[in-house]
Each structure stands twice: as structure tokens, then as C-alpha cells.
């Protein structure tokens, strides 16, 4: 009789323990769904740049959606900041009319692959510094899933040092060049007239290419939001310089497009000139104009030291 009572007690004890353990496990699962661990990886790379980091997370948390769209337009306050970096003095109402015309031609929603635990998006951000000359980085650059080039940045004749693959090409009117039908144009508008140029150019180009049988791929156009420019200027650069450089804006943008970022062709050459790899140096004292080049370079070095990106210096 005693043995039977002990057996029943043991069975009840086991059942209670299983119930408590199961409930605790369920509570833990629910907690983790709402509050994922700070060290939980967000991508399938060996090291994801967006894995939790107090310093970078603090910078990134204030970021707006990077691309302009009808549902992600800018406030009048942001417009007023954007207007001060240009000579165009047209109104916020005129700006909104222009944006409406833009999205009668280009996609109203920007589609790009976002971070996923099952995906590793490797990116090469290729600047135009003269320190790329003789680097032989070409095959390494082309090995990446995504290659982002900036402004005129040619590849023909420079393949050994810069590669020839291009996924995204960042440009504005003064640096515009023809792209193939598979390359995304990432357009940086620094003023209202840039948006007007975009409308005019693509409307005219569609008429011209229709005659030649070549179709311009307007579906691959992505327009950077002025709000993102302001964010980089205020939060990253703390208002130093008049506005961020195209290269630095591209680098910060790559943190959204990529899980692993390798940076090439930024900074001065070994003689201290801020020159381009595809041009002969005429001015031996080239500097960075309105942009806070030294501060931007310090950020690149810090991101490298923090192991958020890998910076290939070229020489």
C-alpha cells in the first residue's frame, strides 16, 4: 500500500514538473518573440553589420526611410533645410507638384531585399579615389553580391583595379552616365531642378529610345530622400560642412542595402590629393570642397575599427 502511494506521488510530481517546465518554456518563447536577444543575428553572414551595437544602433535609430516615394515624402521643415544647400528658391508647394510628376514616371514603391536570417547580402561600395590605381582589387570587387558605384566611376579600361560589375549606380545630373538595362539608378537630388532634370531626361529618352528599339528601364530608378540627406548631416556629421558628400551618403545608405560591407576607393591618395582614379592630376592640392572630408574619413575608419565594415585603403 505504501509503495502504491509513493508511486502515485512520484507520478504526480513528474506531471507537475513537466507542466511547470512547459509553461516556463512557452513564456520564454513569447518573451523572445517580443524582445529578441541583443546578440541575435539578423542575417546569414558570419558577421552582420546590423547586429546589435550600442554605438551604431544609436546612430541608426533616428534614420528615416532612405528612399523617396508618394507615401514617404518630406516635411516642410526638411524641405527648408534641403533648400538652403541650393540656389533654387521655389516653394514647398512647387516641390510637391514636382514629386507628383516624378512618380507618374517612376515606381511608387522601392523594392530592395531587406535583412533576413536566411540571407547574406555582401556589398562592395566603390568610391573614385586615386588610391585605387594599381590596387588590383577588380576581381575582389566583382566577387560581391552587390556592387555600388558612384558618379562617373568608369570600369572600362580599369577592370583590373575596380572590376566591371555594377548593381547600383549612384548619380546626380552633373555625373549622369548611361546604364545598362539591369543596373539600378540611385538618384541623389540635391535641388528641385535635379528632379525636373530627371523628369525631362527620362521623358525625352523614352521618345528617343522608342525609335531605336532600346527600352529605358524606369523600373530600376530609386530616388534618395532629402530627409535621409538631412539625417546624415545632422546625426552622423553633426552639421559639419554644408552637406554630406555623395560618397559618404552612399556609404551610410549601404548599411540598409547590405549585410556585409567592404569599402574601396575612399579618401586621399598617398600624396594627400583627393583625386579620381580615372583622371590625370592637374591640381596638386585637391581638397573636398563643401564637404567635411576629414570627418567623413574618420567615420569610415571608425566603422572599420568597430568591425562594422572592412575598409580597403588601396595603397
- pLDDT value, residue 32: 36
Nearest CA to 277 out of 147, 138, 148, 154 is that of 154
Can you read off the three cell numbers belonging to residue 155? 570600369
Tell me the Cα Rg of the chain: 25
248-293 per-position pLDDT tens digit: 999 999 999 999 999 999 987 777 777 899 988 765 554 555 667 7
Find the CATH number of the domain harbouring 47: 3.90.1480.20
- pLDDT value, residue 51: 85
Helix/strand/coil percentages in the chain, nearest 5: 45, 10, 45
- pLDDT value, residue 86: 86
Cross-strand bridge partners of residue 118: none
- Between the CA of residue 180 and those of 165, 169, 183, what are the distances in Å? 11, 10, 6
Nearest CA to 237 out of 288, 186, 184 is that of 288
Does residue 13 lie in a domain region?
no
Residue 135 has pLDDT above 90, yes or no: yes
- pLDDT value, residue 63: 94
Cross-strand bridge partners of residue 170: 150, 186
234: three-class secondary structure by DSSP: helix
Does residue 302 lie in a domain region?
yes
- pLDDT value, residue 267: 86
Percentage with pLDDT > 70 across the chain: 80
206-231 per-position pLDDT tens digit: 666 545 444 568 899 999 999 999 99
Rounded Cα gap, residues 133 and 130, in angstroms: 6
Give the chain's count of helices (H) and strands (E). 10, 7
Rounded Cα gap, residues 222 and 227, in angstroms: 15
Q: Which residues are catalytic, by number?
A: 243, 291
Does residue 4 lie in a domain region?
no
Lowest-pLDDT choice from 10-19, 50-59, 95-104: 10-19
Does residue 114 lie in a domain region?
yes
Range of the domain at 292: 40-278+285-312
- pLDDT value, residue 76: 97
Residue 3 has pLDDT above 70, yes or no: no
Does residue 33 lie in a domain region?
no
Alpha carbon of residue 174 to chain centroid: 21
pLDDT band at 157 (very low <50, low <70, confident <90, very high): very high
Rounded Cα gap, residues 184 and 197, in angstroms: 18
**Phi and psi torsions of 168, nearest 5°:** -125, 135
Residue 41 has pLDDT above 80, yes or no: no
User: pTM higher than 0.75, yes or no?
Assistant: yes
99: three-class secondary structure by DSSP: helix
Lowest-pLDDT choice from 70-79, 169-178, 266-275, 298-307: 266-275
Rounded Cα gap, residues 20 and 31, in angstroms: 16
Does residue 21 lie in a domain region?
no
Does residue 15 lie in a domain region?
no
Does residue 5 lie in a domain region?
no
Q: What is the mean pLDDT of the chain?
A: 83
Provide the number of structural domains found in the chain: 1
Amino acid at each position: 500500500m505504501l509503495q502504491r502511494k509513493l508511486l502515485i506521488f512520484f507520478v504526480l510530481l513528474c506531471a507537475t514538473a513537466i507542466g511547470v517546465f512547459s509553461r516556463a518554456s512557452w513564456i520564454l518563447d513569447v518573451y523572445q518573440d517580443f524582445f529578441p536577444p541583443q546578440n541575435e543575428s539578423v542575417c546569414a553572414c558570419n558577421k552582420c553589420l546590423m547586429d546589435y551595437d550600442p554605438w551604431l544602433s544609436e546612430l541608426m535609430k533616428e534614420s528615416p526611410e532612405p528612399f523617396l516615394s508618394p507615401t514617404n515624402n518630406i516635411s516642410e521643415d526638411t524641405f527648408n533645410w534641403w533648400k538652403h544647400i541650393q540656389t533654387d528658391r521655389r516653394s514647398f508647394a512647387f516641390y510637391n507638384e514636382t514629386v507628383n510628376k516624378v512618380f507618374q514616371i517612376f515606381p511608387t514603391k522601392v523594392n530592395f531585399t531587406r535583412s533576413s536570417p536566411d540571407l547574406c547580402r555582401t556589398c562592395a561600395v566603390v568610391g573614385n579615389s586615386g588610391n585605387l590605381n594599381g590596387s588590383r582589387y577588380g576581381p575582389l570587387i566583382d566577387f560581391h553580391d552587390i556592387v555600388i558605384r558612384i558618379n562617373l566611376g568608369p570600369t572600362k579600361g580599369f577592370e583590373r583595379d575596380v572590376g566591371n560589375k555594377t548593381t547600383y549606380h549612384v548619380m546626380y545630373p552633373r555625373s549622369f552616365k548611361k546604364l545598362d538595362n539591369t543596373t539600378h539608378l540611385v538618384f541623389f537630388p540635391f535641388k528641385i531642378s535635379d528632379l525636373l532634370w530627371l523628369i525631362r531626361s527620362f521623358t525625352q529618352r523614352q521618345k528617343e529610345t522608342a525609335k531605336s528599339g532600346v527600352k529605358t528601364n524606369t523600373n530600376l530608378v530609386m530616388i534618395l530622400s532629402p530627409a535621409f540627406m538631412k539625417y546624415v548631416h545632422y546625426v552622423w556629421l553633426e552639421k559639419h560642412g554644408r552637406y554630406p558628400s555623395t560618397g559618404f551618403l552612399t556609404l551610410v545608405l549601404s548599411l540598409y542595402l547590405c549585410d556585409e560591407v567592404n569599402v574601396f576607393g575612399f579618401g586621399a591618395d598617398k600624396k594627400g590629393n583627393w583625386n579620381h582614379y580615372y583622371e590625370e592630376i592637374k591640381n596638386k592640392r585637391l581638397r573636398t570642397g563643401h564637404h567635411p572630408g576629414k570627418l567623413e574619413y574618420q567615420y569610415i575608419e571608425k566603422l572599420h575599427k568597430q568591425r562594422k565594415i572592412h575598409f580597403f585603403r588601396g595603397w
